[in-house]
Structure 1
């Protein structure tokens, strides 16, 4: 008995109306991209469900491992194939049910028989398979309405197909269905989680990181690379823009009083981000800010920062508790990367007593002593761009 296909159930996109097909098409393309390196994998998308097929067992294992990370999927089930005879079907049923938790669980068999030439009717198939499963697993009890375990059997011309395991998907919308936005990726705990939430809403990400050597080192940059790699594992590639920020940051600290440098620095980041946003045809800026978490995340600070741009600024964590953010970071695998002890440009120049309620007119007053335009354009023009996931180079050893 082999698992050669997976049945995928759509999530929120199943509620869509006339544009439903475009959402399904986006999900199909994302799934194909996720499995592009697997030669035998094929994807068949229908209006109400999707099938993923693979002829190679090891490739099917990879499908089952990666599929929970693809947004737009409510759940999925591995499908076991058996020959069209009762003995083979019984063996397949045992193989499927044996993988599940059965202690004090209720059970039933549901049969579909689109291949009408199969010599047994649905009641007989249900009786044969159901009684065999119950004899093999006496801890199960029969319950026809809302059972804990429902073994679904479908009789087709080429084989019988069975499934019972329902694996939770990532939910949300297919990445790309919600447009594209630029995530300000600091290297801390919050911004990758903000990116994850926006991916789940179907937003394709461009990433921007501000790098200030020699104050920040290559280990801090490598940490950001690893975070970008993680974010690329949710069904869509991402592009990271590394901004050389040293000159701009130094100029801010020369011209602006120490207690409002944090606000002014973030305003400069927004202005650079606007240039990158225009070039990448993104539609919004995403940040990991959470209201009141630090001095730069008060309403007054956010007002002063927002005033420098007309671009929509999305803050998906604005009302989320820090402990909840940490829990999400741990679940998606970014937490251990984020807590590596390498400082980013936001922490190296943090003043001892930053203003929690900066006045916009004062910030603008001090910034007007010098034109930052040239430095902002230079930072955007000299950025480094890397696409993720990174292609691992093959190692050719022992070659003459």
Structure 2
């Protein structure tokens, strides 16, 4: 049985938001309730503190739920005690003997929240230390400069909180407080990580995927659905909307009419043109990409400048200075890595010409695009034909069971749902 009664939840960057703090806090609490609704826990709000009453819930289940809530700076499982010094000493000894299993370097830190106490925090630490250390000398050695274990004691008017460590949360801001962004979700390693980092900073993310079935396999689009399912656990209301753009017609035009060295540049310029229109339709304020400087030919500064010149809305690049190992580490943390490395090609990888320009410029891109037949009309057409999937952690969509193209699958799925 756990020694802990409650969880103390601390908001990190939220504390910097001044007059907007209430709005941010309310969203964080909504996310917290959303992620713990399946657990037997109770929420307690006290002034600037937030607590979860554990009841009989497993600590690992609570920790897993809290690690899905953006905006939480850190949290601590603690034992509740009466605030009298004798009670604190007795419970501290119980906690240390239960949790400290091998000899450790040790210190005590006290915070006097109840200002009616005549002793200072440092004086209280000295009072408690004498009695506690006498009983646990076989387990610990005092080391106030480099402890392995710290007993934290917070003494309030009617309660004392005892805890041994703090666990780092996701930090950042509650998802949704910073507006909505449209994520170019390719199916690779980078873009889901970029979406996750954007959500950590409070951005409500929707995905856009340029699918090119039947030129590409429907499994490549399925990867995006599966990635969105993993990402949805961090989303507001745990829902992630994915806009599937039927890119096949425009894809054919690009391959047939654009110089090989500019195929990737022009294709991405078309992505941005389409994304801007989809963003406007869905009230998104920015486009989000998984680009990182120098990782591939289309991610040089010259390329980025030439590609984003076609749009007027902000382009956010959360991974801009990350190296690949950093990105892979986060993808494993959010459980998208194994899906991302599945070998199904999307429209960016199905045709990768040799000799792609690493220093494309806007003038040459425009010259190339003049060879395309009325691409603005095609863009409007495919935007109108875009299909939107609403993905949750419980989603169990298998596109290949409904058709050979995403559009066929989407229509067949909706016919199936209407018949039920």
Q: Fold-level match, TM-score > 0.5?
A: yes
Tell me the CA shift for residue 91 of structure 1.
5.4
Question: For residues 21-32 of structure 1, what are the structure 2 equivalents within 5 Å?
Answer: 21-32=22-33
In 1: Cα distance, 2:376 partner to 2:27 partner: 39
Match of 1:374 in 2: 377
**1:257 aligns to 2:262 (yes or no):** no
In 2: Cα distance, 1:80 partner to 1:19 partner: 32
Secondary structure of the residue that 1:233 maps to in structure 2? helix
Match of 1:396 in 2: none
Question: For residues 328-339 of structure 1, what are the structure 2 equivalents within 5 Å?
Answer: 328-339=330-341
Tell me the CA shift for residue 56 of structure 1.
4.1
Question: For residues 311-322 of structure 1, what are the structure 2 equivalents within 5 Å?
Answer: 311-322=313-324
When residues 132 and 304 of structure 1 are mapped into structure 2, their CA distance, relative to the original with a 3 A threshold, is: closer
Match of 1:68 in 2: 67
Match of 1:354 in 2: 356
Question: For residues 1-400 of structure 1, what are the structure 2 equivalents within 5 Å?
Answer: 3-38=4-39, 40-42=41-43, 44=45, 46-47=47-48, 49-58=49-58, 61-81=60-80, 90=90, 93-95=93-95, 98-100=98-100, 103-108=103-108, 110=110, 131-132=131-132, 135-136=135-136, 138-142=138-142, 148-152=149-153, 154=155, 157=158, 161-234=161-234, 236=236, 237=238, 238-369=240-371, 370-391=373-394
Question: Unaligned stretches of 5+ in structure 2?
Answer: 117-121, 397-420
Computed over aligned residues only, the root mean square deviation of the Cα atoms, in angstroms, reads 3.2
Q: Deviations over 1:266-313 (max 9, x none)?
A: 111111111211122111101111222212112222222111111111
Tell me the CA shift for residue 258 of structure 1.
2.2
In 1: Cα distance, 2:388 partner to 2:110 partner: 53
When residues 318 and 88 of structure 1 are mapped into structure 2, their CA distance, relative to the original with a 3 A threshold, is: closer
* Larger CA deviation: 269-278 vs 164-173: 164-173
In 2: Cα distance, 1:265 partner to 1:210 partner: 10
Matched residue count:
386
When residues 232 and 313 of structure 1 are mapped into structure 2, their CA distance, relative to the original with a 3 A threshold, is: same
* Larger CA deviation: 187-196 vs 375-384: 375-384
Tell me the CA shift for residue 360 of structure 1.
1.8
The answer to whether the 8 Å contact 2:285/2:313 transfers is yes
In 1: Cα distance, 2:300 partner to 2:380 partner: 28
Tell me the CA shift for residue 197 of structure 1.
2.0
